Structure 1
Amino acid sequence: MGGDAPPDRVAAEWALLLTDPLCEVRVLAEVGWDSASGFAMPGVRPAGAEVLELLGKLPPEPDEGDEVGALLRDTGLYERFGAAIEDVARSEEADRAALNATEDSHARELATALARAVVAAVLAAAGGDADCTGDERDRLVELLTARLGGDARMPGGRAAAVLGRLAMRVTTQPVLNAWRGSLTTGATPFVGDILRYQARGAALRDFLRERIAEEPGPTVLIGHSLGGIALVDLLALRSAEGAPLSDVRLLVTVGSQAPFLYEMGALTGLAPGEALPEGFPRWLNIFDRQDLLAFLAEPVFPDDPRVTDHEVSSKQPFLPCHSAYFKLGTVYDRIARAVAETG
């Protein structure tokens, strides 16, 4: 699973793994391999037993000089790594899958499944606190797989065959139902911030206006999530008042809900159906289709040439993708292009 698979499929696979980190291991525990005997010969240790032993020996707190440790720290996953190893290594599914893995090829696939389970468990526990791109996630899987005696770059095997098609067939609602608890606790900070802003947003807009005024000359404004809402409001209100912020040439919103709030009549600076006022700058709206908190702006303002949507992909499902934008080179490349286009 993963590898050169289309981004939508990769995200769907990881949505399953985040919902159930042991789903691939469970397939190997229940179905095993066609060539496996299903039991260990007397006096012969299954190849999978060594993989499970290596998993139990992984350091729960890798050194900073270790690439795994550096990646875990950089992605906000370090504190939860030890618990994820313990949960996977001590699971009944891992024990049964290891017993089924009687050949070296089985053990290599088991190593990949266990590594993916550990990374999925860490990401699921971190929720919205994870700051991890798909490339960083995949590198963690690759490093852990190698330490368990496998190769994460090899094509998927038994578990991939069973779960690959399932991932693309899973509807949004079952996944959301399974994630309901983590979505409630993980997304609540985002939603709560938006609601607080709606009630008391003037102070934030005043703060932003003052900070923007401190830097004379051509200005590019970049806002993520709630920050994008506040900037759209500020620019719309000032432009409508005939006092647009001087020299703001470009607005960039990233993973923002501003277009959605506009359509719902909940955007302070612009009523539904109103066009963006004269003086509003060019607007680049960057989104990831897996980000449930990101909305398109072009369809909302279809006749306004100032508005441009641009899609990126962190290869992560929701929630991790909402925090991963600024680790993507494509985000910076598109912003640089937009800045150059403004002259």
Structure 2
Amino acid sequence: MLHRLAGAPEPDGPGELRALLDGTGLAAGFRPAVEAAAGSAEAARAGARATAEPQARELATALARAVTAGALAGAGADADCTAAERDRLVELLTTRLGGGARVPGARAAAVLGRLALRVTTQPLLNAWRGSLTAGAAPALGDILRYQARGAGLRAYLRERITARPGPTVLIGHSLGGIALVDLLALDAADGGPVPGVELLVTVGSQAPYLHELGALTALAPGSRLPYGFPRWLNVYDRQDVLSYLAAPVFPGDPRVSDHEIRSRQPFPASHSAYWKQQSLYESVERAVTEAGLG
């Protein structure tokens, strides 16, 4: 089995495995993950013990999980993989190795579990500061630039939003959510809400946190959202360290609600994993209906 894993060709053509690797951003890290698993001492020991068919099936599943974990770790922020896609990848790899995609037994799992920890968790723990900084730096850099020179972006957004008649639903991810909250709050406070905007959806946004810090352009710390600000659905993921709750920051405001997404992805992949979560679109659909736009 280890020989089969090490000698496995790169998946190519229109097959499901190739499409899955390409669609999740794991293609580049697949071969290194395969080689790491096949060449590991843990896999060799597990292979030596898998002398019967049940143990071989367990080993196939455990190896598939180790390869998948390694590919995810190697992809880092480039991974765009849902939990369902990850599980399907394990199934496909298990089938290629001649096993059955089920939970591995205690013997293979104990040995291969150490491999998964070594190729994923431990390197991340060793470099946790660098990983988090590298993952967060692009978004934080954009936010800082916006804080210094955000007027131009807000003017551009207002021009685009008002170019067509409403009703309008605005969706902003990360910095986009900050800029939209600022724009809508500034215009509403000036007595002229952005025409036609009925619903704001922020996804993985830092706007609530910046408001608490007193770093949001439109609102003083502790102030409420102005009259004329639209309904606001804020979508967050506990795994995404760049997403924050909005409702507790504006207590008692019926316009503001939070919806939790559970991507089951590590940061920074979780910051861009929202768009593959069906519950995101369901929550937006509900908010649109509640706003009387459906």
TM-score (norm: length of structure 1): 0.77
Which of 274, 288, 291 is equivalent to 2:240? 291
Distance in 2, matches of 1:159 and 1:319, equals 30
Instruction: State the shift of 1:124 in Å.
Output: 1.3
Q: What's the CA shift for 1:286? A: 1.0
Structure 1 residues 91-113: Cα deviation after superposition (integer angstroms, max 9, x where no partner): 23222222232332222222222
Shift of 1:162: 9.4
The amino acid of 1:245's aligned partner reads: V
Question: 1:56 is matched with which residue?
Answer: 6
**Aligned-residue offset at 1:140:** 0.8
Q: Deviations over 1:132-185 (max 9, x none)?
A: 111111111111111112223346534667999xxxxxxxxx976653222222
Q: Pairwise mapping of residues 253-332 of structure 1 onto structure 2 (< 5 A)?
A: 253-332=202-281
User: Aligned-residue CA RMSD in angstroms?
Assistant: 2.4
Partner of residue 116, structure 2: none
1:244 aligns with 2:193: yes
Aligned to 2:50: 101
Q: 1:70 aligns with which of 19, 23, 45?
A: 19
Q: How does 1:1-343 map to 2 (within 5 A)?
A: 50=1, 52-60=2-10, 62-154=11-103, 157-158=106-107, 178-343=127-292
Q: SS of 2:160's equivalent? A: helix
**Distance in 2 of aligned mates of 1:117 and 1:163:** 7
Amino acid at match of 1:92: A
The CA distance in 2 between the partners of 1:66 and 1:227, in whole Å, is 36
Cα distance, 1:252–1:312 mapped onto 2, change above 3 Å = same
SS in 1 for 2:249: coil
Shift of 1:211: 1.2
User: What is the identity, as a one-letter code, of the residue corresponding to 1:145?
Assistant: T
**Counterpart Cα distance in 1 of 2:105 and 2:144:** 44
Report the alpha carbon displacement of residue 278 of structure 1 after superposing the two structures with TM: 0.7
Contact 1:132 1:323 in 2 (8 A): no
2:118 aligns with: none
**Bigger mean CA deviation after superposition, 113-122 or 277-286:** 113-122
Measure the CA separation in 1 of the matches of 2:239 and 2:108: 24
CA separation of 1:125 and 1:104: change in aligned 2, threshold 3 A:
same
Aligned length: 285
Conserved 8 A contact 2:132-2:267: no
Q: Give the Cα–Cα distance (whole angstroms) in 1 for the partners of residues 41 and 109 of structure 2.
A: 20
Letter in 2 for 1:267: L
1:133·1:321 contact (CA, 8 Å) conserved in 2? no
Gaps of 5+ in 2: 114-122
Secondary structure, counterpart of 2:59 in structure 1: helix
State the Cα deviation string for residues 7-61 of structure 1 (Å, max 9, x = none): xxxxxxxxxxxxxxxxxxxxxxxxxxxxxxxxxxxxxxxxxxx2x122113223x
What are the ranges of 5 or more consecutive residues in structure 1 without an aligned counterpart? Answer: 1-49, 165-173
| Structure 2 contact 59–104 (Cα < 8 Å) conserved | no
2: distance between equivalents of 1:316 and 1:189? 19
Distance 1:182 1:231, change over 3 A: same
Distance in 2 (alpha carbons) for counterparts of 1:161 and 1:83:
23
| Higher RCO by CA contacts (8 Å cutoff, separation 6 or greater) | 1
